[in-house]
Every structure is written in C-alpha cells, then in structure tokens.
Chain A
Amino acid sequence: MTILQVNDLGITFGGLRAVDGVSFQVSLGEVFSIIGPNGAGKTTLFNLVTGIYRAGRGSIRLAGEDVTQLAPHLLVRRGMARTFQNLQIFFRMTAIENVMVGNHLSERTSLLADLFALPSVARQNRRTRERALELLERVGLAHHAETTAGELSYGVLKRLEIARALAADPKVLLLDEPAAGCNAVETEAIDRLIGQIAESGVAVVLIEHDMKLVMKISDRVLVLAHGKRLAEGSPRVVRNDPAVVAAYLGEHGAREADRAHG
C-alpha cells in the first residue's frame, strides 16, 4: 500500500535547482533508498519531504492526504519521522530522555498539569519511560539508558536517533545516512535494525553512501544527480544502468555492489 507519494517536487536556492521535479512513491514495509553523488540534492529532498523547507513546486501526499506545506511538528502527527545526517541529539539529556522526547506526541498532559505535578503526569512519565526503554532495547542500547547522550559514541548515537524517531510511531521513517561514520560492526547492527523496522510494516526511506548496505537491504533505489531523477528501480536494475554507473558508482562502485549482492 502506497503511504508516501511525492510528485514533481522542486526547490530553488538562488537560481540553483537543488531539487528539480522529483517524483517517487513508497509503500508500507518497503525499504526505499535514495542515492547519488554529493550535492545531488538527497538531503534537500529529505528536508522538503519533512517540511523543513517549503516546496517551491510539486506536492507531497502522506496516507492519501496532501501535506505539502505542513510544518515539521505537524507532519510527525501524521506519521512521518526522521533522523539527521549530522546528529541532532539532545546532548544534555540522557539516552532514555532522548527517546522519551520522541514520545512527545502520545503524551497526554497539559502545561498546567505539568506545573502542578498532578498524578496524571507521574502516570504519563512512567508509561513514557517504559516505552522508551522498550525502544532502547530494540536498538540494543538499554544498558546506556541513564547515560548522558553527550558521553556516547557516534555509532551509538546514530542508533539512539533511530530509537527516538521510532518513539513517534511513524508510518514513514526517513533515515539520513544512518551508517555514516559507523564501523563494520555498527553498520551490521543498523542493517539488521532497518530490516526489522521495515518488516514491522513501516516504510523506510534511506539516504546512504554505503553501497553494500544499500544494495543489500533496499527493495527499490532512486538515483539522483543534479537534483533530478537519474534512475529508479530494483538494486539490480539500478546497478546495471549505464547512466548511473557513469554518474555515480564508477567502475569500482559497480564491482563493490556486485560483490555485495552475491
């Protein structure tokens, strides 16, 4: 079932068409990867889809509804969550508090109730904490729950961001380079995690430079170059597309991808 539908999306920065008429669709339970050389417009496309930038043209439909001009915090309400290329962690909060903030939308207390610490706040805090702990367990970070995020390593924080995004109970999860800067073991863990998330019925949209990872876990791949769609299809089709090879993968990349796919 199609959950996210992006149509002819575009934005211009001072004459540069950073994203130029890109369209794609993502279904529930699918891993959809966006690849392309640096500066191809991948993160800009993410920022458009998640409402951080306002689209200059085109439309975004989430679960059939037009959400093109919605602010980020409203998009989350409709089931879209994301992680960031450059970590956006709440560094002064503990790991579990980071995930608890991710639960913000399901928390049912008012500012006044919070001020006067009504019993409902304590109940809510307990529920939120339990759920956050479950999510930390799911990404394998339960033992770091009470550690201040600023003291955790980069690879750990990458997974913490995923747990925080999952806390919002998304139908569409956008991951911006989740394995960047991670070692082989951490990449392996993130690979498994993404597979599990997709299996649970969430649509995963992935930006990633690790070609082995992309070719292994993606159901479909969109290749961007200069803000435009260069190719789209299964990993096998994309990998063998001459235009893609020329623009991005290069001879070496194509060999790597081949090897990964077996």
Chain B
Amino acid sequence: MSGARHVWLPTALALCLAGTIAAVLSSGNASPGFALAALARGAAGSWHAFTSGTLVRATPLLFTGLGVAVAFRAGVFNIGAEGQFLTGAAAAAAASAALSSHAGALTPWLAIVAGALAGAAWASVADALRRRFEVPEVISTILLNFVAIYLVGYLVRGPLQEPTHIYPQTRTLELLARLPRMSSGTRLHWGFPLGVAIAIALAFWLSRTASGFRLRLVGANPHAARVTGRVNVGRVTTLAFLASGALAGAGGAVEVNGVTFALYENISPGYGYTAIAVALLAGLDPRWVIATAVGFGALEAGASAMQRDAGVPSVIAGIVEASIILIAIAWSARSRGDASLERGT
C-alpha cells in the first residue's frame, strides 16, 4: 500500500544529500573532481596511504564500533563510546607514565588493560544510573561524554600535564610504552590486528556461546527473555554495557599508545559517534564491523587529505557518515514493510 513511498523517500533523501555534499566539495579552492581524487589518494593511493592512513584511522573506529555493536545487540543504547574512549585514553596515558620504568615492553599492553577498565568504569556510571534510578542510558551516556571531554581538559592542564607546564597535553610516551609498529616505514601498529582478533572473538561469543545467545535474546525481546528464558535481564544488560565501555576504552588506550603517544584535548574527532555509523552499517555483526571500520577509516583518512590538498573542510566526513546512517535506516524501514506487526511490547 505504502510501498512506493518507502522507495522514493530514501532515494530522494540520498539525492538531496548527494547535492549537499557536492556543494560542500565545490566550496574548496579546487574542483570537485580534484577534491575527490585527493580523497581517493589519501585513502588508498598507495600501500603507505592505506596502512598508515586508512588502517591507522580505522583502528579506533574498530574498537568503538565493536563497543557500540555489543551494546546495541543487547538493546543497550550506549551513545557514550566517545566518553568511554576518552577516559580509556586518559587512563592509558596515566598508566603508561606510571608503569614504563617497571613493566618494560609490557607497558603498552598493560595500558590497554587500564584503558579498558577505565572505559568500563565510565560505562558503569550510566549502567548504575539506569539500574538503580531508571535514568535512560541514552541521555546519561551523552551527558557523560561532555563530562569526559572536560575531565580530559582538566587532566592535561592539571595533574597529568607535561613537566614544563606549557602545553595542554601529557608528556610524550617513552619508546618502551609505545605499541610496536607492524613493520618499519609504516605507522600501522599492533593495535589494529588486536582489534581484528577481538572482533572475531566477539563474533564467536555472540553466535556460539550460551551467554552470547542470552545477550542477543535480551536485545531482541527483554520481556520474552525474562519470562520464557529465565534470563537475568539486568545482569545481561550490565555485562553488555561494561563490555561495550571496555572496548571503547581499549580503543582510547590503543590510540594513545599506538598513534598520538600523548593525551590532549580533541584527541578524538568524534570516534565514538562515528562508531554508531560503523556498527549500524555492519548490521551489528562484529565481523562486518571490521569491514565498515576500514571503510570509514578510508573515508576519514581521505577527507583529511582532501582538506590538506583541496581545501575542502574535513567535516564532510561527518556529513557523509550521518547520511549513511540515515539512508541505511530508511532502507531497512523500506524492507521491513508493515512495522506495526512487529512492534513488540
């Protein structure tokens, strides 16, 4: 009955967005064609651009994207990957500074553990607010993102500031505290394969284990899970929430110990929000998150190159990401058909 509407709305929307993006592209000081060529070169113009640009940029998106996927799978709307990423980054910077003289080459890996714990702790605040006080996690996680931004701002000008107290950042990490590179001549570090391994492990957990099944069950229908499955819904959602925070926090740590080697404000250009697009486009499947993270990494690395070479503002990547989410949900609404039948309780 309403089939036609469901086809042309997403299409019209896609056309509008394409027009807007074309307008932004031509706002630079070069032709749109040149700008797009700069984007392609920056993303995959060479092996170096692909590994040191795209894959390095994909790594934080992989971790945060996995975090969002796990939470959404359990029906937990964790919009707080950004804050969990930032607290993870802060904890990793602090742990690296404290540990590097004792732990040696283990330091970066311990820093990732510290980051994961901090991310989980940050998520646990929203989880506790949800469990004890029925505060919707959508609102609390977003608010905690802002708190985390100011917390990082405070840390890098206060307790964690570098010794000369000139720059708002932490002291640059010692060589021992940095994640090793995968080969010389590339910026790609071992954080990326770690993320891939975690994605595969998560996919196995979700599809092949009892606790993974319970998580999916709770996400699909918490009421049914409680009544028929004898599942402790509260415990499962808490587990998903903490795992989600831990993944995002580990992402922050990997970024500090693998790429930036210091904590500073604006260390995340919105990875936690892009992560939502990464996870949704992957259909919340951890294996597909690897692919979408690399895709969005290419987009962002390309957009940076485009800003450098063609003067097109790199925020265009954010516009494209938001458009992809909108088109994806409009498209799935189209294929869902009559939604009123599956509204659930």
The reply to whether chain A is a binding partner of chain B is no
